Amino acid sequence: MSTTRLGDDADLIIRGGRIHTLDDAGTVVSAVAVSDGRIVATGDDAEALRAAEIVELDGRTAVPGINDAHLHAAWLGARWPHLFFSDTPPEHQPSGRLVTTASDRREALLHAWSLLAELGITSYTEPGIGPGEDDGETGCFGTAMLDTYVELHRAGAQTSRVTLLRLFGTIDGESTLADFERGIRTPAPATDPRWLAIPGVKIFADGIPPMATAWVCEPYPDGSTGHLLTRGDDPLTAFRTMIGLAATAGMQIAVHATGDRSIEEFLRVLESLPPAQGAPHYVVHGDLASPAQIARMREVGAGFAVQPLIAAHTQEWAGAQLGPERLASAWPLREMLASGALTTITSDAPIATPDWRLGLDASLSLLGADDAATRTALLRGMTADAATQDGASDWKGTLEPGKVADLTVLDEDPLQPGRGFTSLSVERTVVGGRTVFARA
């Protein structure tokens, strides 16, 4: 893949390969032209221009920049290369305080951004940063990390676009209505939302099925059902009130909910509210969502952010708590995609690897299918649909004129069935028309 410098009709032209725009029509073009960070022409119109810089694909394939819509970048950068699902023994996993100083926090984010650029990831959602974690064990989720995000954002240091959700409880843990009310009254910092958007909040409803902490309708083998993580005299009323308060304030709401009972309670509140304006509300995980709940989520304009790779890692473990019948219907990715409900494919890194190629291969395995239509739907779950989850589909997520020039260049066509996504090589990552990674 070569780069040359010529004229000045555009800043950049990428040409000479297959470019999947992933627009609604599935348009494939041979070139895109970029000015001021935006796509200004595609196909023959782009080929006719002169540009200050030309990147020749030499037969490679470009797709919209990958958007991991649920990835803990600060935590990932502080832990890397250690993942929770890995071959590293527990005694060798990092623990305790991972970042302490402002320098530590900057280094963690810069490390994460460098890693993501190498993987072709141009956008992600940081799902939960805020005062509830100011005394947290790792130091990766508190107000100081939010301040570091803003500092680096204002310094123009980002190589990834970020959607950040604020957290007014503890990560993977409890929250109170009083803390939540206090938190949402605090204004978010002023930022350029095309680089650092702070549209809403993350709420933890329950735990996970393998630990029998997902809140479920049908009891686990020990007779328990899990429970809500909100605290107070009436946790359910507190949970419902949190959702109502955030929605009334115009905030996007992402609820960590794995059990069918927690999903049901979130749905009931959404069904009583006007449709979201801007970024849609969504369930994170949705492991035990029923077909009826999936259909209702679509009806209210809400969605799911799912992690097929985590399903692959935990399926056997969860089976001991769910039994064979419930296990067979868990992680209903096929039903989500078929329903038309907004569905994004995410990693939850550093729980699992941020390498989206492994996540998409796990998706193919979960679906039991490998064809061009399935691959397109999955790749849209990490591009166009992820942009919709961000409330940003009008300016990113596909390679159309007027949208930002965020691209991932691969050595081969990811929509061609018969080869694993993991066999693809990321050759170049472009964010806003600027190359942030190029393989030597």
- The answer to whether residue 366 scores a pLDDT higher than 80 is yes
Rounded Cα gap, residues 103 and 108, in angstroms: 9
- Dihedral in degrees, nearest 10, Cα atoms 284, 288, 292, 295: 30
- pLDDT tier, 274 (very low <50, low <70, confident <90, very high otherwise): very high
What percent of the chain is modeled with pLDDT above 70? 99
Same domain, 47 and 170: no
- The answer to whether residue 6 scores a pLDDT higher than 60 is no
Boundary of a domain, candidates 354, 388, 410: 354
Same domain, 60 and 180: no
According to the model, what pLDDT value does residue 90 have? 83
Cβ atoms of 310 and 363 within 8 Å: the answer is no
According to the model, what pLDDT value does residue 440 have? 83
Same domain, 283 and 424: no
Same domain, 100 and 60: no
DSSP notation for 364-393 = HHHHT--SHHHHHHHHHTTTHHHHHHTT-T
Domain count for the chain, please give it: 2
Same domain, 407 and 263: no
Same domain, 73 and 51: no
H/E stretch holding 326: helix 308-329
Q: Residue 368: inside a domain, yes or no?
A: no
Cα angle 118, 374, 306 (rounded to 5 degrees) comes to 60
Average model confidence (pLDDT) across the chain: 96
Same domain, 158 and 106: yes
Same domain, 172 and 209: yes
Same domain, 336 and 289: yes
Rounded Cα gap, residues 395 and 320, in angstroms: 45
- The answer to whether residue 5 scores a pLDDT higher than 60 is no
Least confident piece of the model among 3-7, 317-321, 338-342, 417-421: 3-7
Q: Residue 150: inside a domain, yes or no?
A: yes
Residue that wins the pLDDT comparison between 34 and 89: 34
Q: Residue 382: inside a domain, yes or no?
A: no
According to the model, what pLDDT value does residue 89 have? 86
H/E stretch holding 70: none
Q: What's the length of the chain?
A: 440
According to the model, what pLDDT value does residue 2 have? 59
Cβ atoms of 35 and 10 within 8 Å: the answer is yes
Same domain, 340 and 291: yes
Q: Residue 383: inside a domain, yes or no?
A: no
According to the model, what pLDDT value does residue 353 have? 98
Boundary of a domain, candidates 354, 379, 414: 354
According to the model, what pLDDT value does residue 420 have? 96
For 65-97, the pLDDT digits (tens) are 999 999 999 999 999 999 999 888 888 899 999
Same domain, 76 and 144: yes
For 381-414, the pLDDT digits (tens) are 999 999 999 999 999 999 999 999 999 999 999 9
Q: Which class for 13: exposed (0-12), middle (13-18), buried (19 or more C-beta within 10 A)?
A: buried
What's the distance, Cα to Cα, between the start and end of the chain in Å? 10
Longest Cα pair distance anywhere in the chain, in angstroms?
72
Query: H helices within 223-259, ranges in order?
Result: 235-248
- Residues 51-73 have a mean pLDDT of 97
Rounded Cα gap, residues 94 and 110, in angstroms: 19
Q: Residue 334: inside a domain, yes or no?
A: yes
For 171-195, the pLDDT digits (tens) are 999 999 999 999 999 999 999 999 9
Rounded Cα gap, residues 69 and 79, in angstroms: 19
Tokens of 226: 């899990």
Strand, coil or helix: 138: coil
CATH number reported for the structural domain that contains residue 413 in this entry: 2.30.40.10
- Looking at residue 31, its amino acid is A
Strand, coil or helix: 252: strand
Domain enclosing residue 90, as ranges: 69-354
147 to 105, 150, 227, 334, 436: CA distances (angstroms): 10, 5, 33, 39, 24
- pLDDT tier, 7 (very low <50, low <70, confident <90, very high otherwise): low
- pLDDT tier, 3 (very low <50, low <70, confident <90, very high otherwise): low
CATH number reported for the structural domain that contains residue 261 in this entry: 3.20.20.140
According to the model, what pLDDT value does residue 407 have? 98
Q: Residue 377: inside a domain, yes or no?
A: no
- Residues 189-206 have a mean pLDDT of 98
Same domain, 264 and 294: yes
Q: Residue 216: inside a domain, yes or no?
A: yes
According to the model, what pLDDT value does residue 92 have? 85
Q: Residue 393: inside a domain, yes or no?
A: no
Closest CA to 431 of 402, 403, 399, 407: 407
For 205-223, the pLDDT digits (tens) are 999 999 999 999 999 999 9
- Residues 412-434 have a mean pLDDT of 97
Closest CA to 63 of 438, 417, 400: 400
According to the model, what pLDDT value does residue 87 have? 84
Rounded Cα gap, residues 14 and 27, in angstroms: 16
Boundary of a domain, candidates 354, 380, 406: 354
- The answer to whether residue 298 scores a pLDDT higher than 80 is yes
Q: Which class for 185: exposed (0-12), middle (13-18), buried (19 or more C-beta within 10 A)?
A: exposed
Would you call the peptide bond into 280 cis, given omega within 30 degrees of 0 as the criterion?
no
Cβ atoms of 43 and 18 within 8 Å: the answer is no
- The answer to whether residue 8 scores a pLDDT higher than 60 is yes
- Residues 366-372 have a mean pLDDT of 97
H/E stretch holding 145: helix 143-154
For 221-244, the pLDDT digits (tens) are 999 999 999 999 999 999 999 999
